[in-house]
Amino acid sequence: MLYDLKVENILFLDIETVPAVSTYSELPDAFKLLWDKKALQLKKEEDQTPENLYGRAGIYAEFGRIVCISAGFVFFKKKIPYFRLKSFYNQVEADLLLDFATLLNRFGSKKGALLCAHNGKEFDFPYIARRMLVNGVKLPTLLDVAGKKPWEVSFLDTMELWKFGDYKHYTSLNLLANLFGIPTPKDDIDGSMVADVYYKTGDIERIARYCEKDVITIAQLFRRYRNEDTIPADNIESAESDLDR
């Protein structure tokens, strides 16, 4: 039951990913062949080629990489809810993931700690875990699901919660935000623009701001699922160096 969960034990998160390199031509030869095979599975139109499909590589952990992870949690002051968040971003993916793993290990020491994302079970959580393995980062307990029973896995998913058992139903975060009267996170860029922003302008801070908006929206949506008021903007703060309090 959502009402039984202690919200302070939930870490809300979102990730932004891009293709491993900026263009298909930059791929090593072995990965060009591997992407060519993947592109055959993705191809729906006659004029689609591995080159012009490469922009979609970022959604696959084998052909993409993480450029930003934003995370935050709810806390209370005199029973008034606040939200604190932090973004992890780095040109070196391994360093970003090491920093985030440190946070997850610390947060995961809480009894009943949970991770929450929108479509997180299908995308964010496995993507982070896979990229950690690729980069030689030891999996934090919260992400190490091998051998765990379904009820032992510490994942919440705001999209899955909205499905109510309807396995074929997909609902975007943007749609749900509008449905519940939550300020939309798509007021600057959206996920389809992240790779261009990253490779063409290098403005990773802009990507982080966008990612943080998604995290705030996920947390606000979770509160609305519990028939709670959203957290006022004045009660949302960013952490420069540490997400602990």
| Residue 30 counted as domain residue | no
What confidence score (pLDDT) does residue 228 get?
Answer: 96
Q: What's the structural domain count of the chain?
A: 1
| Residue 6 counted as domain residue | yes
| Residue 127 counted as domain residue | yes
**Whole-number Å distance between alpha carbons of 219 and 231:** 9
| Residue 200 counted as domain residue | yes
Identity of residue 120:
G
**Whole-number Å distance between alpha carbons of 32 and 5:** 46
Kindly report the CATH number assigned to the domain that includes residue 159.
Answer: 3.30.420.10
| Residue 82 counted as domain residue | yes
Backbone region of residue 136 per phi and psi (left: phi > 0; alpha: psi in -120 to 50; beta: other values): left
What confidence score (pLDDT) does residue 169 get?
Answer: 75
What confidence score (pLDDT) does residue 241 get?
Answer: 45
| Residue 29 counted as domain residue | no
Alpha helices, H only, the chain: 29-42, 50-53, 93-107, 124-134, 158-163, 173-179, 194-196, 204-225
Report the DSSP pairing between strands 80-89 and 64-77.
antiparallel
| Residue 89 counted as domain residue | yes
**Whole-number Å distance between alpha carbons of 121 and 227:** 23
Full residue range of the structural domain in which residue 215 is found: 2-20+63-238
How large is the angle between the packed helices 93-107 and 124-134, nearest 10 degrees? 120
| Residue 38 counted as domain residue | no
Say which residues have a Cβ less than 8 Å from residue 185's Cβ, sequence separation at least 6. Answer: 173, 174, 177, 210, 213, 214, 216, 217
Mind listing the pLDDT tens digit of every residue in the chain (245 residues)? 788 999 999 999 999 999 999 999 999 999 999 999 999 999 888 889 999 999 999 999 999 999 999 999 999 999 999 999 999 999 999 999 999 999 999 998 888 999 999 999 999 999 999 999 999 999 999 999 999 998 889 999 999 999 998 877 789 999 999 999 998 756 667 777 899 999 999 999 999 999 999 999 999 999 999 999 999 999 999 886 455 54
The tokens describing 22, both together, are 């900026």
